[in-house]
Amino acid sequence: MRLNILIGGKAGQGINAVSGIIAKVLADYGYFTFNYRDYQSLIRGGHNFNVLSLSDEWIASHESKVDFIIALDENTISFHKNKLKKSGKIISYPLFPDAGKNLNIALASALAKILGLPKELILKHTEKFQDSGKAVELGYKSQKHELNLKKLNNKISIISGTQGIANGAINSNINIYYAYPMTPATPLMHELAGRQKDDFFVFQPENEVAGINQALGSSFAGKITMIGTSGGGFDLMTEALSFSGQSEIPIVVYLASRPGPSTGIPTYTSQDDLDIALRAGHGEFPRIVLAPGDANECIEKTNEAFYLAEKYKCPVILLSDKHLAESDFSHDKKANPILKIKMNRKIPGKEIIKASSYEHLAGGETTESETEAIKNAKARLKKYSEIKKEIEKLEPIKIYGKQSKNLIIAWGSTKGAILDSIKNLDCRFMQVLYLKPLSDKIKKEMLTAENIILIENNATGQLGRLLREKTGISIEEKNRILKYDGRPFTSDLLREKIKGRLV
């Protein structure tokens, strides 16, 4: 069973409140949900919408057609009526002229009545809103039970990708987070700012260059440190990224992608920044790049990022995007056990410690010696073999589905739509979680397949290019499913594209 509900209106009308209320009620009732947010770069006005999908099984995507439209304004109907299924229904703002500022609550309550959800649960999840009781009554009385969803025994939690990253950072005992606001990384700054305590705080510097350099100073002083930005801000950080590689000061970088080049489409999504994550910065130095695919993995991989940064004293880049960061995922599973962060380096205070951007001797003294330059370069690059062994213990890839001659390869936020789209199809799916260094398991899996399909949210197939470089295996152009309009894949349309490429 699966339903898709589109909630639309102007920025500031409380669209997120509607989807949030319904999602919480459904979770209490044992149903899985996925909430996709689509909004313009405006504080007020314009047109925003969410698509809330629900199912009695785990889901992590939305579909292109909807069963209900909840319209807070006329534009929602005119823009989206072509997405409504023939059996679908519109619940619109004219129904509740007396709802006032709680129109969104009245509409949420009306939908709950249609779905057969108890009014008591609506009241429970709207009590924090002023004068919400009247709006709940208005909405509930306006409709009839049509679907009568049965209560399930699943114990459901709801969490966004951003909240997952925050949980992973808190689990790692983070001391300080630096960020200059840039969508879609900004929500993490807000989330962490609300969770500050005596030994952890959030600081907003004057720009991204200041942020990463301040972060390196904090890390040098022995603090567990993270910075966050999007593509344009990351560009500004790349000189200091090389400083981290040379000085061996550990740092975790949260890179939340959005479409480029330049400002691009700032409030939409893409997987454009894999190339820059892999190669940004001058010189040759070790780094780790990893990309979770859902909110639970955000918790786990963030913790792993801190663990690896500290153990190998190198920069670790945690890749996300708007779709992963700002979508709400439901789950009934616990994250992996927390890895304890062990600080295996000297900290200033008890003795003189030097960290230099120059080539340097073991004590930090600068050098231009040919012998030392070669020795240090070899030592830096040797870390890769050590890191590769380590990440094999941390699940660098995941394989879904039974043995098949068809293999789908993807990374990051495409995971949910892929898993929802391949049910009952003759294929398996390899999710790449560690993108640098790559696991040797990847080539082995590719060699067992007769037909490889690449799925990415970018225009050039950046993962495909990386795989060709590292494995020598090229994925045929006709088998590349690429989407680069700023929007994520919907599982129903993706399923048709996949079916057309199976052998």
pLDDT, one tens digit per residue, over 118-128 is 999 999 999 99
Task: Please state which CATH class domain 2-155 belongs to.
Answer: alpha beta
Half-sphere exposure (CA, 13 Å, Cβ side) for 136?
A: 19
Cis status of the peptide bond prior to 250, with omega within 30 of 0: no
Q: Token pair of 297, please? A: 């993995």
pLDDT confidence of residue 349: 86
Half-sphere exposure (CA, 13 Å, Cβ side) for 343?
A: 16
pTM (two decimals): 0.96
Q: Token pair of 467, please? A: 């795989």
Return the C-alpha torsion angle 277, 283, 288, 289, nearest 10: 10
pLDDT confidence of residue 188: 98
Q: What is the mean pLDDT of residues 52-58?
A: 97
Contact yes or no for 321/413 (Cβ under 8 A):
yes
pLDDT confidence of residue 351: 84
| Average pLDDT across the chain, whole number | 96
Residue range 159-335+355-393, CATH number: 3.40.50.970
Say if residue 458's pLDDT is above 90: yes
Q: Does the CA dihedral 206-212-216-218 come out positive or negative? A: positive
Whose tokens are 């616990």? That residue is 334
pLDDT digits (tens, 9 = 90+) for 387-435: 999 999 999 999 999 999 999 999 999 999 999 999 999 999 999 999 9
Residue range 397-499, CATH number: 3.40.50.920
Which of 388, 400, 479, 401 has the alpha carbon at shortest distance from 435? 388
Q: Sheet containing 32-38: give its strands across.
A: 84-92, 66-71, 2-11, 45-55, 32-38, 328-331, 157-160
pLDDT band at 350 (very low <50, low <70, confident <90, very high): confident
Whose tokens are 């510097």? That residue is 205
Task: Assign residue 29 a region (left: φ > 0; alpha: ψ between -120 and 50; beta: otherwise).
Answer: alpha
pLDDT band at 375 (very low <50, low <70, confident <90, very high): very high
In the chain, where the domains are located? 2-155, 159-335+355-393, 397-499
Helices (H) then strands (E): counts for the chain: 17, 19
Q: What's the full length of the chain, in residues? A: 503
The yes-or-no answer to whether 159-335+355-393 and 397-499 have a common fold is yes
pLDDT confidence of residue 259: 97
Q: Token pair of 134, please? A: 């009247």
Q: What is the mean pLDDT of residues 20-36?
A: 97
